[in-house]
Amino acid sequence: MKKTTFILTCATLLTLGVTAQNKVTGYVYNDLNQNNKKERKEQGIKDVAVSNGEQVVLTDKNGKYELPIGTDHIISIIKPSGYNVTTDANNLPQFFYNHKPQGSPELEFKGVASTGKLPKSINFGLIKTEETTKFTALVFGDPQAYTLEEIEYFKRGIVSEVEAIKNVPFGLSLGDLVGDDLSLFNPYIDAVKEIGVPWYNVMGNHDMNFDAKTDTISDETYEAHFGPANYAFNFGKVHFIILDNILYPDPRDGKGYWGGFREDQLNFVANDLKFVPKDHLIVLAFHIPLSEPNGDAFKDEDREKLFSLLKDYPNTLSLSAHTHIQKQTFFDASQGWLRAKPHHEYNVGTTSGDWYSGKLNEAGIPISTMRDGTPKGYAFLHFDENKYNIEYKVAGKPKDFQIEIFAPKVVGQGRKTRAGIYANFFMGSEKDTVLYRIDSGEWQPMKHVQDYDPSYVSQVNEWDTKTELMAGRRSSNPIISNHLWRGSIPTKLEIGVHKIEIKATDMFGNEYTETSSYRLETPKQ
């Protein structure tokens, strides 16, 4: 009888041990002394969302949560409004716990080391703060340095401009943090930490473990440095959802990658949104643009599923990068969007510009204008309650530089010309209004055109027409710009210099102006 009781007791204990490893529990608490340790006097916080990457639960009245867990999960807290999470010495938010008892698989670039046995309680401390519903986020597209030299270009050409920035509570990089060499993650982190604000990151197709055999382990090195590739957080009346939207290897043929989502990622979005008020602004951030239906860049079925999950939310915005151009896209019913008001996706210009190419400026940094004529730079997203306003900042230029004008230097007086005045309005879309006038005359509408930006074309041509080798690396060939306008050149004016004024009004009502000139001379016989 005693032997039987002993065997049953051992079996029960073994079962309890296995069960305990199948779930994770812990507390979300008010970290009063900010030491990342839950102490008796520090009360739990109720109704805070916690996720295992797919399921999402709310903490109970004591701040306790419980979630299923396997052998490869990241437990993360979804930061509520009115609280901050702690950051490490590199200003990376610490909102997660990596649970990989066996560590990451052996890959070319190291992943997560073995985390060992699951602790009895995984707790998350929050710091109560005065959080306004009117705030500004700083957004980078594709830092994408392939070498330490390019990391230095990124530091000197971008980071130095926003170092120690004020009145910006956090920043976000939209993927391609580095260029395939994942050992550059740490130099990238060292560069960005100098900005001095908490910094969130998105995984890009150049941030992957290319020797991974399945998509679920293509982010092991990313996870070791930044935590989960799929997560969410709140600030004011804005709910941010960060997603890895790169399927690798491509499920169609096992080669390359494809834009899309796994089922568990879409489940995460669905479960997360259950706890988000319908009147909040939903901002999705991922690397690859959602793109037009029937294209090859993104899986149509996954876009449609995402749109279905968002159908009850009237206020939405998507942020993407990847293309190394700048573009505004508006999805409507014909493209699968399920609300009357179109869904806006802002494809953000990159901090690496045209992959650190082009002539060197006076500081020895590549000017790196993008192929659609957008200068390299970064964006400020201004939020007020559930509304947003976007401002693009060209690196190394004044804040109000938003339009590049191209016009001939000199034209024959009275002669017809096929040349034109072109305005590249970097933040523009076909929906916007762009006007021009000559010598303070009447404002005239410019025509939106799908064409190569002649200003950028002239930059590229310089590489091909110089008789001496130029410093730097040749710019990429131009592509069609989506934010280009054209006006004709009046030639029946007096001989001399004539002032060009451009006025552009964007979708938010922001008005920008830029000036240039051309000269009329007597035609030569």
Concatenate the DSSP letters of all residues of 12-49 into one string. HHHHHHHHHHTEEEEEEEE-TT-SS---TTS-B-SS-E
**pLDDT at residue number 293:** 78
In this structure, is residue 472 part of a structural domain? yes
Structure tokens at 233: 């957080």
Range of the domain at 452: 403-521
**pLDDT at residue number 20:** 47
**pLDDT at residue number 525:** 80
In this structure, is residue 21 part of a structural domain? yes
In this structure, is residue 463 part of a structural domain? yes
In this structure, is residue 73 part of a structural domain? yes
In this structure, is residue 397 part of a structural domain? no
**pLDDT at residue number 291:** 85
Among 125, 158, 184, the domain-final residue is: 125
Among 125, 149, 175, the domain-final residue is: 125
Among 125, 160, 183, the domain-final residue is: 125
**pLDDT at residue number 230:** 98
Q: Residue 409, CB half-sphere, CA atoms under 13 Å: how many?
A: 1
**pLDDT at residue number 349:** 97
**pLDDT at residue number 4:** 45
**pLDDT at residue number 296:** 85
As for how many domains the chain has, the answer is 2
pTM over 0.75: yes
**pLDDT at residue number 5:** 45
Q: CA 90 to CA 82: how far, in whole Å?
A: 23
Structure tokens at 346: 């802002």
Could you tell me the CATH number of the domain that includes residue 53?
A: 2.60.40
Could you tell me the CATH number of the domain that includes residue 456?
A: 2.60.40.10
Mean pLDDT by 10 residues, the chain (525 residues): 44 41 94 91 96 98 97 96 96 97 96 95 96 97 98 98 97 98 98 98 98 96 98 98 98 95 98 98 98 86 98 98 97 96 98 97 96 98 98 97 97 94 97 97 97 97 94 96 97 97 97 98 90
In this structure, is residue 166 part of a structural domain? no
Q: CA 42 to CA 56: how far, in whole Å?
A: 24
**pLDDT at residue number 292:** 77
